[in-house]
Amino acid sequence: MDHFTYRDGALHAEDVPLADIAAAVGTPVYVYSRATLARHYRVFADAFAGLDATICYAVKANSNLAVIRTLGLLGAGADVVSGGELQRALAAGIPAERVVFSGVGKTRDELAQALAAGVMEINVESDPELEVLSQVAAAMGVEARVAVRINPDVDARTHAKITTGRSENKFGIEWTRTREVYARIAELPGLRAEGVAVHIGSQLTDMEPYRDAYTRMRDLVAMLRADGHDIRRLDLGGGLGIPYVDAGNTAQTTPGPADYAAVVREVLGDLDCRLVLEPGRVIAGNAGVLLTRVIYVKEGATRTFVIVDAAMNDLMRPSLYDAYHKISPVREPLPGEGLIEADVVGPICESGDSFGKARPLPACQPDDLLVLRSAGAYGAVMASAYNARPLVPEVLVDGDRFAVVRERVTIQDMMDRESMPDWLDAAAPAEGKVA
Task: Return the active site residues.
Answer: 349
Q: Could you tell me which residues come within 8 angstroms of residue 206 by beta carbon, excluding any fewer than 6 positions away?
A: 157, 255
Three-state DSSP at 323 gives coil
Chain CA centroid to CA 268, Å: 26
Q: Could you tell me which residues come within 8 angstroms of residue 200 by beta carbon, excluding any fewer than 6 positions away?
A: 152, 154, 156, 163, 164, 165, 209, 210, 213, 237, 239
Cα separations (Å) of 342 from 11, 155, 304? 20, 36, 5
Cα separations (Å) of 159 from 74, 81, 202, 204, 353? 31, 21, 8, 9, 20
How far apart, in whole angstroms, are the C-alpha atoms of residue 111 and residue 106?
A: 6
Alpha helices by DSSP H, 141-242: 178-187, 208-226
Instruction: Output phi, psi for 6, to 5 deg.
Output: -85, 135
User: Which residues in 103-116 are b (16+ Cβ under 10 Å) and which e?
Assistant: bbebeeebbbbbbe
Contact 328, 373 (CB under 8 A): yes
Contact 330, 18 (CB under 8 A): yes
